[in-house]
């Protein structure tokens, strides 16, 4: 079975490519390398540098390779950036998905698993969040993911392209040997920023907001290990390859950690003091996001293995210490 992974040089994509190859899949990677890293891609994958919005490029890849299914990661994914430049997000995420679905339709490829996000729910009041709960995004990033889901739905109705949308909550961690991990420039995510402070590369963590209606006033998030997430994509692809119907699943641990609890957990794991100060709220941030992932467990048989925040942080810490400058070193 040959799987095309778009965005396969990115953080979650590269871990999924690695897992697919270890499970015996033949893997083709497409990535424009704007945020991805060529070194993150398992050398057994066939790599094509290009953009999913480029129809000629995609057509060339689909003509050369016999693709059985697509896992679609390629997108821009930073909430605050999407607040500053929403049109960039609609162009990259929505336009990219239209072009990809057109190429799949034209080359008779009928299965796609893709990255959606908890941000489709906006700022929900009821926790944990179920897939059927209201979807009212509070930022353009979440809006693009919701539009992508709706497009997939109609592409299924019209062209018979079956899809699984995976709504990730917060992702952390790295491959356990520390050989691949999270490397964004600029870095905006909580765990890598905390670890950069632990390593002495930053002076301080700024905690965005301490006046939310949560137990300690800071945002609460639900963290999943990147390897568990990678495994969920493989389970979802296997579901489609077995003839399963289109569906949507939350992927989270069903446990919430506040930003202050994350800071404490990182202090425990690293043994470093990790200086922090309070800062104003970050625009677009919902107060609390905790998943109900029982549907993925029941239907896909997904069972997270690394469902402990210390395991997530310690694998990220191993990657950070081995690669203090990310893939540049
Ligand atoms: N956060 C923070 N300081 C930082 C980066 C993030 O306080 O330097 C907070 C952010 O406001 C949110 C949580 O950490 O409450 C997780 O943010 P991240 O950007 O990692 O993921 P998101 O929830 O936006 O997908």
Annotated catalytic residue: which of 141, 212, 223, 306?
141
Q: Is the pLDDT of residue 54 over 80?
A: yes
> What CATH number is associated with residue 11?
3.40.50.720
In a domain? residue 324: yes
The whole domain housing 294 covers 190-221+254-328
Could you tell me the pTM of the whole model? Answer: 0.97
Residues 82 and 210 in one domain: no
> What's the token pair of residue 215?
């137990």
pLDDT of residue 284: 83
Burial of residue 43, with CB atoms counted within 10 A of its CB: 0-12 exposed, 13-18 middle, 19 or more buried? exposed
pLDDT above 60 for 329:
no
Residue 177, in any domain of the structure:
no
**Using a 6 Å cutoff on CB, does residue 60 contact ligand 1?**
no
User: What pLDDT does residue 239 have?
Assistant: 98
Distance CA 65, CA 277 (A): 51
Q: What's the structural domain count of the chain?
A: 2
ipTM over 0.95: yes
Q: For residue 178, is it within any domain?
A: no
Q: Report CA dihedral (144, 147, 148, 150) to the nearest 10 degrees.
A: 160
Question: Are the C-beta atoms of 176 and 315 separated by less than 8 Å?
Answer: yes
Per the annotation, the verdict on 223 as an active-site residue is no
Lowest mean pLDDT among 180-184, 270-274, 283-287, 294-298: 283-287
Same domain for 201 and 97? no
Q: For the residues 126-148, what does the mean pLDDT come to? A: 97
Average pLDDT for residues 4-25, to the nearest whole number?
98
Considering the chain, what is the average pLDDT of its residues? 97
Extract the tokens encoding 268: 């425990």
- pLDDT value of residue 13: 98
Query: Between 80 and 236, whose confidence is greater?
Result: 236
161 alpha carbon to ligand 1 midpoint, in Å? 34
CA distance 247 to 94: 19
Helix-strand-coil percent breakdown of the chain, rounded to 5? Answer: 40, 20, 40
């Amino acid at each position: 079975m040959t799987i095309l992974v778009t965005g396969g040089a990115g953080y979650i994509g590269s871990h999924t490519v690695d897992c697919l190859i270890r499970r015996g899949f033949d893997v083709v990677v497409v990535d424009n390398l704007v945020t991805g890293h060529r070194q993150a891609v398992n050398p057994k994958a066939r790599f094509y540098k290009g953009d999913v919005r480029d129809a000629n490029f995609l057509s060339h890849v689909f003509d050369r390779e016999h693709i059985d299914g697509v896992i679609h990661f390629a997108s821009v994914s930073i909430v605050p950036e999407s607040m500053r430049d929403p049109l960039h997000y609609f162009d990259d995420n929505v336009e990219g998905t239209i072009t990809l679905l057109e190429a799949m339709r034209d080359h008779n490829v009928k299965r796609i698993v893709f990255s959606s996000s908890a941000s489709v729910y906006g700022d929900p009041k009821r926790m944990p969040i179920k897939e059927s709960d209201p979807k009212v995004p509070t930022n353009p990033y979440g809006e693009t993911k919701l539009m992508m889901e709706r497009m997939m739905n109609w592409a299924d109705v019209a062209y018979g392209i079956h899809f699984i949308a995976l709504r990730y909550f917060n992702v952390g961690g790295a491959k356990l040997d520390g050989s691949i991990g999270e490397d964004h420039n600029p870095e905006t995510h909580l765990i890598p920023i905390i670890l950069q402070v632990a390593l002495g590369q930053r002076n301080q963590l700024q905690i965005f907001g301490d006046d939310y209606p949560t137990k300690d006033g800071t945002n609460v998030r639900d963290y999943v290990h990147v390897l568990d997430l990678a495994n969920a994509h493989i389970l979802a692809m296997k579901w489609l390859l077995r003839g399963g119907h289109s569906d949507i699943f939350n992927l989270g641990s069903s446990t919430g950690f506040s930003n202050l609890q994350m800071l404490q957990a990182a202090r425990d794991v690293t043994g470093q003091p990790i200086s922090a100060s309070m800062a104003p709220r970050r625009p677009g941030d919902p107060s609390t996001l905790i998943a109900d992932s029982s549907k993925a467990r029941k239907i896909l048989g997904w069972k997270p293995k690394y469902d402990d925040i210390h395991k997530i942080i310690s694998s990220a810490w191993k990657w950070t210490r081995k690669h203090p400058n990310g893939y540049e070193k």
